[in-house]
Amino acid sequence: MANVRRIAYDIIYRVLCEDAYSAIALNNSIKENQLSSLDSGFLSALVYGVLERKLTLEYIIRQYSSIRIRKIEQKTLIILYLGMYQLLYMDKVPDSAAVNESVKLSKQLGLSKSAGFVNAVLRSFIRAEKAYDMPDISDRVKYLSVVYSCPEDIVSVWHERFGDELCEKMLGGIIGRPPLTVRVNTLKTSTDDLIRSLSERGITAERISFLPDALNLSGTGSLEALPEFDDGLFYVEDAASQLCAEMFGAEQGEVVCDVCAAPGGKSFYSAIRMNNRGEVNSYDLHEHKLRLIDYGAERLGINIIKTSVRNAAKRDSILSECDRVLCDVPCSGLGILRRKPEIRYKKDTNIDILAELQYSILCVGADSLPNGGVLMYSTCTLNDSENIDIINRFLSEHSEFIPEPLSLPQGINHVIDEPDCCLTLVPGMYDTDGFFMCKLRKAGRHD
């Protein structure tokens, strides 16, 4: 029988100490250990729960530990995270099991000296009826940081940019698992037919009001085991990314370029929107990622996507002339913290280097557009230096480009003051990832 807590420990250690990606490490562990759906659910809850609540857990552990947090060995601290998380957030786990299994885990890992310490901290917490203090609410940044387990530097930036109320809503939006959002492949089926087919398998499919052919699925089990997936009737893509591809607006018969295409969702969306007529050029730095796009296109029955290795930031790789260019650039990822909770704890974000890379990609992408061509810039982050600052700089240095107002679907509104060519989506508002998009047009021909 699989020791799920030990597996959770191994994953969390690799994520926090060896820079592993939580989703990849989790999925690999589930397959390697051949876990049941019940054990997989418990494992996912432990891993993502601890990573999401790490700062909150530390703050509470500090109140019951005789040793300062920074003096506690990392392995022991992870065991405490796991035990404390179960005591605080998992009502179905008996307190005795949370403590005893944590002590047992300490011994299994050769941390016999730590076992007594782990036992003492967790039992002290139980004896105190799980009481704990939070920072004074008057210190908003510190308070929000601890309550929502998000570092103060991120909270401070969001608090200043978005204001207190929206900032707290955003922080609430990065806690918990995101919905499983898919795009219906209307080349092969209709939304109604897919909903009906999935319903017959006991899968709930809920429409997304602002995206007619997008669904949130629940109760799927393994997606790859579904005939509807294998037959290419849908693919997975968050609603924010889908909305960006919709605003990009690729039309039947056009030639479009997706210069940072992996994992391919926006290329697939564009090809389907074009009714599989025209040309979608999907580029990426890495050949193995392009193979995944090729596989996805084949599964979906799309034959207008052409993939090629290309460095989007290099001026010696200018694109052939096309109607639209999409630059969904590498970014700091602050909009996807609920998908990759470990991102929030990374110290070396390289924001300055990223901003220069993002700007280069945008400039090189712009070079291939004729008059009237559309240029779309997007990120999955919520940082002005990677978003609106890039756009303002680009427009100041490229007078031939003008803002193109976005025609937003009913139900989607600007939540901050921004130009109508831009849209910032924040966590906690529309149940999407955090996202930024901006649409520009090269002056000349008009639609």
Which residues are the active-site residues? 380
* DSSP codes of every residue in 140-166: HHHHHHHHTT--HHHHHHHHHHH-HHH
Q: Please say whether the beta carbons of 345 and 280 come within 8 A.
A: no
Token readout for 310 is 């290309």
| Interacting residues of 324 by C-beta distance below 8 A, sequence separation 6+ | 248, 249, 250, 254, 256, 257, 369, 373, 374, 375, 376
Query: Any alpha helices (H) in 65-94, and if so which ranges?
Result: 74-89
62-87 in b/e burial notation, b at 16+ Cβ within 10 A? eebbeeeeeebeebbbbbbbbbbbbb
Counts of helices then strands in the chain (DSSP H, E): 16, 12
Can you tell me the distance from the alpha carbon of 388 to that of 223, in angstroms, rounded to the nearest whole number? 37
Q: Which residue has the tokens 């107002």?
A: 405
Q: Name the one residue in this structure whose structure tokens are 């005789």.
A: 66
Look up residue 219 and give its amino acid. Answer: G
User: For residues 304 and 294, is the Cβ–Cβ distance under 8 A?
Assistant: no
Q: How many CB atoms lie within 10 A of CB 287?
A: 10
| First-residue to last-residue Cα distance in the chain | 64
18's enclosing H/E stretch is helix 4-18
Q: Among 97, 113, 115, which residue's Cα sits nearest to residue 105?
A: 115
Contact criterion met (CB below 8 Å) for 29 and 43? yes
Nearest to 380 by CA among 191, 181, 243: 243
